[in-house]
Amino acid sequence: MDANILPLLSIIIFIQLILAPIIYLVTRGSKKFGDILSIITSSIPFIIVLYFFNIVYNGSTVYEEYPWIPAFNLKIGFLLDQTSYPFALLISLMGFLSTIYSTKYMEHEHNYAAYMALLLMFNAGMLGVVLAINLFLLYIFWELMLIPSYFLIAYWGTGRPRIIGFKYFVFTHAGALAMLFGIVWLYVLYGTLELSQLSHLITNSIENLYIAILIFIGAAVKMAVFPFHTWLPDAHAEAPTPISVLLSGVMIKTGAYLIVRILLGLFSWAISLINIPIVILALISMIWGGVMALVQVDVKRVLAYSSISQVGYILFGLVTLSPVGVAGGIFHVLNHGFAKGLLFMCSGVLIHVLNERDLNKLGGLASKMPFTATAMLVGGLSIAGTPPLGGFASEWMIFSGGIDSGLTIYTAVAIANTALTAGYYLRMIRAVFFLNPKQDISKVHDASLTMIAPMSILLFLVIILGFINYPITTIITKSVIQLIKM
């Protein structure tokens, strides 16, 4: 399917990059026009991704390529196949929704126009990562997503944003360098970075094991796997809330994409050698994140540590190397993305309406904010793997994958950890919405429509994906069958 009149895949990536400066200028002139323009811009990638649904669902792919640097055998091109589709869908939808959310949440912030422009560039970077056809391009987008997000954290963050932003930058960049080392090594060995060519070239050699480890480190830092996780609670908790939505809901999943696309797709031999240590890392992440989330007093830090824990589940599913487990891992990327995005948006409502995020100072809000309370309960329980919500639908697949691969004890620990997850979410919900209010909440009201609209879309998805998920699981299943070559 490359006979499109319009280069739609390139539009997905570049429209936000190209329009970002224009939006900056327009928004400086009129916030209203700027907002409309940014919402439309951010919706275009999502619409295009949806447009390709049928093609991908039926097993075809969408492909575009253009010559770039012939001397290095490099092309510029994009591929939307069954593997990248779930990720692209997640990124484009969450980017769109958090843009809507930002127009209300960030309205009184300084330098709002620059914020909007950076937000769109950040979206574009993430989309580029999952659509790139070669590793060089992938790396470029990897950096492109890092830079705007650094500025977003460092300039609009709370607490000590400069230090935290710097910490975020250094950590992810160190990971990116490990990955770059691996990519260069690959180029030296095989003379190409095209994913389609590499898949025929990569052999079972010790060098490839090292390269796989290097790339895993890059992915692991991005996913905030224990012990590379300390940047995450700071960055995700202190970033402005719409950016937390994207960081926690989407960006850390690019690490999962790297694992799926490169490690499972190309280095299946190498990964089968090191999967047990990774499984153990994943388990430590999920338990450590859960234990830390249990004792946080800041709503956003609870959610941030919860992301560390959930990334453990995703990683666990992926490295079980069993088809069902990998499918579950990819599916959990979506479910966690939607649910965690929803939860961060809920925390944003608390911050926006009450200017309060301390669990010890909140309370009794259930009747004042029925929608937010429902959304937070549903999101939290989904992540805790409670049926019939989305999180369960992917978690049981992860678990059956684990047992499939003979990791029975590890899987039992992972399942037991869901009780801890439920524990810290219910603790948080009790502190925020139950009990007697600790401050005057008589004038408190629920979020405004601009914030409720994106939240209700996510709420709907979190609920519906629990039992009607065949459109997306079909795509994931096809992808896994190609990847694992059963």
366 near another protein, rule: CB under 8 A: yes
155 near another protein, rule: CB under 8 A: no
227 near another protein, rule: CB under 8 A: yes
Choose between 102 and 421: whose C-beta lies nearer to another protein: 421
Please pick, from the candidates 367, 439, 448, 464, the single residue that binds another protein as defined by CB under 8 A: 367
Nearest approach in angstroms of CB 88 to another protein is: 20
388 near another protein, rule: CB under 8 A: yes
Task: Give the footprint of another protein on residues 420-439 (CB under 8 A).
Answer: 422-423, 426-427, 430, 433-436
Choose between 28 and 427: whose C-beta lies nearer to another protein: 427
Choose between 37 and 174: whose C-beta lies nearer to another protein: 174
150 near another protein, rule: CB under 8 A: no
444 near another protein, rule: CB under 8 A: no
Please pick, from the candidates 199, 295, 361, 460, the single residue that binds another protein as defined by CB under 8 A: 295
Choose between 149 and 418: whose C-beta lies nearer to another protein: 418
Please pick, from the candidates 28, 167, 173, 438, the single residue that binds another protein as defined by CB under 8 A: 167
324 near another protein, rule: CB under 8 A: yes
Choose between 348 and 390: whose C-beta lies nearer to another protein: 390
CB contact at 8 A, 481 and 323: yes
Choose between 125 and 161: whose C-beta lies nearer to another protein: 161
Nearest approach in angstroms of CB 32 to another protein is: 32
Q: Which residues bind another protein (CB under 8 A)?
A: 167, 170-171, 227, 229-230, 288, 291-292, 294-296, 323-324, 327, 364, 366-367, 377, 381, 386-388, 392-393, 396-397, 399-400, 402-404, 408, 411-412, 415-416, 418-419, 422-423, 426-427, 430, 433-436, 466-467, 469-470, 473-474, 477, 480-481, 484, 486
